[in-house]
Structure 1
Amino acid sequence: MRIISGKWRGRLIEAPDGGAVRPTGDRVRESWMSIVHQILPEARVLDLCAGSGALGLEALSRGAASCDFVEQSPKVLAVIRSNLEKLGGHPEAHLHRDDAVRFVERLSAGAYDVAFADPPYSTQTVPQLVECWMAVPFANVFGIEHSSSVILPAIGESRRYGSTSLTFFRAPS
């Protein structure tokens, strides 16, 4: 995988070995970024179910002020740490070993400017994270990748890319 744009444009990053992580493809990742690109400079970003860290790293590359990466697996966190080191690091990149739902349940409204979530399709994490955001909008913009067969509340804006959908929720101003 590679970083698509910004200061790290074209730099390669690794995905964790095995089938535990489903890395977001370049086309879908570019779609995420085109939707939020105007608010990324100096943004506080949250990357939930971070996997390789590609979404958060892309945001940092494009000028985000900070990014918190949340991932349960120590092995997967090691890949994110390695990717950060390969890119030269970032002083405001923080890794958290935690369950994504448990992590956001502790957040207050507006804790982040932008939050990305790319949970495993086979779990109940997608609806749980959306429920958490609807109860306490922990990010001004919350985007979640999910199977196109999953229907989320109509207040979100969805875009379909084959069997993958991205749904974005925006906090009221």
Structure 2
Amino acid sequence: MTRIIAGQYGGRRIQTPKGDGTRPTSDRVREALFSSLESELGGFVAELRVLDLFAGSGALGLEALSRGAGSAQFVESDPKAAAVVRANVKELGAPAAVARVTAERYLRDTPAEAFSLVFIDPPYALPTAQVAALVATIKASCAAPEALFVVERSTRDPFVWPDGVEGLRSKKYGETTLWYGR
């Protein structure tokens, strides 16, 4: 089981999908990520809208909500993982919606929304160029002007931001690297 680290839901445990299809972000990496985000954002505010692509258990978006973000949209194509995210959202009473579609289909079919914080944590096997293309699509269609992007990838796969997104920094945590861009 995974736990929410801090905020309104701090200490609460959430379910994680069973099987090989997901790779939950460790508590240690999430704690470092959110310490960095709170510094970058100056804290989480109720107006902050979060997009969590490849949501898995929803831990990243739920942590943002716990710390004060206003709402979250979870996107997960795996039926079992999407059911876990829905159960976690319901259990916490979180202000969130869950879409059980691929990231590409969600971005193609969903009306433009202004997301301020975007988490992209795809399976490590997804080619880096495809992840960068998703970032470019989000930037063009549904990102707020100063949106902050966080991409989680294998440390073995370097990530290059698409045109229009400035890379801010990256941080390695063993096999996982987080890339921050705006």
User: Would you call these one fold, judging by a TM-score over 0.5?
Assistant: yes
Unpaired runs of 5+ in structure 2?
A: none
- 2:170 paired with 1:158: yes
- Selected match of 1:146 from 126, 144, 153: 153
The aligned counterpart of 1:24 is: 25
The aligned counterpart of 2:78 is: 73
Which letter does structure 2 place at the counterpart of 1:62? R
Deviations 1:131-173, CA, capped at 9 Å, x for gaps: 4346557251010100112222264221111121100111xxx
CA distance in 2, matches of 1:77, 1:94: 11
1:19-98 aligned within 5 A: 19-37=20-38, 38-42=42-46, 43-87=48-92, 89-90=93-94, 92-98=95-101
CA distance in 1, matches of 2:86, 2:121: 18
What RMSD in Å do the two structures reach over aligned CA positions?
2.1
- Percent identical pairs in the alignment equals 45
CA distance in 2, matches of 1:101, 1:58: 24
Which letter does structure 1 place at the counterpart of 2:119? F
Deviations 1:40-97, CA, capped at 9 Å, x for gaps: 221111111000000011011111110000000221111011112222x12x311111
TM-score (norm 1): 0.87
Which letter does structure 1 place at the counterpart of 2:11? G
TM-score (norm 2): 0.83
Equivalent pair of 2:104/2:134 in contact (CA under 8 Å): yes
